[in-house]
């Protein structure tokens, strides 16, 4: 194993040690860093990166369909932990797969489940999210319609969390 990096900082009056950024190893030397940043901002890198994203889209869509099947299964079983796990995967992948609206809906579902923190949930709120996400990814809802549905779902989550809070539940 490599020797462990040791860096010395300045001790403050409250006992805290502040270690300057030049006291420990940089990611790369300054001369390399300038080249690296120029490369990172270059048109060629932008083109290559977009190619990577485009090439990954089909695989992401396939994966997304798998997560949606699992999300629907978790919804039927009312397994809230599995619902959160699947919605979390969907919010991470949907945009890259070309379904940003489904990602927003999945994010709303995650925030709803997370805010309830184990308190009783509204089945209709969960069901509407699951159905809407499925419709977007299957292509049944798209464009302006999907956006309106997403906005309505956000409003629903806000209302339901408000109701939960009024009842003294987490939210």
Partner 1 sequence: MSGKQFDHLKALVVEDNPHMRTLLRTLLNALGIKQVAEAADGTEGFKELRALAPDFVLTDLSMKPMDGIEFTRLVRASQEVPNPYVPIVMVTGHTERNRIEAARDAGVTEIIAKPITVQGLFSRVAEIVERPRPFVRAEEFFGPDRRRRAKREFKGPWRRFDDEVELQ
Among 70, 80, 95, 147, contact with partner 1 (rule: CB under 8 A): 95
By beta-carbon proximity to partner 1, the closer residue of 19 and 78 is 19
119 binds partner 1 (CB under 8 A): no
Q: Which of 151, 154, 72, 74 is nearest to 112 (CA)?
A: 154
Cα first-last separation, the chain: 48
Residue 138 CB, shortest distance to partner 1, in Å, is 19
Cβ–Cβ < 8 Å for 171, 116? yes
Report phi then psi at 126, rounded to 5.
Answer: -65, -50
53 binds partner 1 (CB under 8 A): yes
69 binds partner 1 (CB under 8 A): no
> Helix (H, G, I), strand (E, B), or coil: what is residue 171?
coil
By beta-carbon proximity to partner 1, the closer residue of 97 and 149 is 97
Q: What sign does the CA torsion over 86, 92, 95, 100 have?
A: positive
How many residues in the chain? 171
Among 80, 82, 111, 158, contact with partner 1 (rule: CB under 8 A): 111
Hey, what are 59's tokens? 């695989």
Which parts of this chain interact with partner 1 (CB under 8 A)?
A: 1-5, 7, 9-10, 12-22, 24-28, 32-33, 35-42, 44-46, 48-53, 55-56, 59-60, 63, 88-89, 91-96, 100, 103, 107, 110-111, 114
């Amino acid at each position: 194993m490599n020797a462990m990096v040791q860096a010395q900082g300045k001790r403050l009056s409250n006992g805290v040690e502040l270690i300057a950024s030049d006291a420990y190893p940089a990611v790369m030397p300054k001369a390399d860093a300038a080249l690296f940043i120029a490369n990172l901002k270059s048109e060629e890198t932008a083109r290559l990166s977009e190619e990577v994203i485009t090439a990954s889209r089909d695989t992401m869509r396939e994966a997304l369909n798998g997560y949606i099947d699992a999300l629907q299964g978790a919804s039927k079983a009312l397994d809230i932990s599995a619902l959160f796990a699947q919605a979390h995967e969907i919010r991470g992948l949907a945009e890259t797969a070309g379904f940003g609206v489904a990602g927003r809906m999945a994010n709303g579902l995650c925030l709803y489940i997370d805010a309830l923190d184990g308190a009783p949930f509204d089945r209709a709120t969960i069901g509407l999210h699951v159905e809407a996400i499925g419709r977007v990814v299957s292509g049944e809802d798209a464009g302006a319609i999907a956006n309106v549905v997403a906005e309505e779902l956000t409003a629903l989550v806000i209302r339901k969390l408000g109701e939960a809070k009024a009842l003294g539940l987490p939210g």
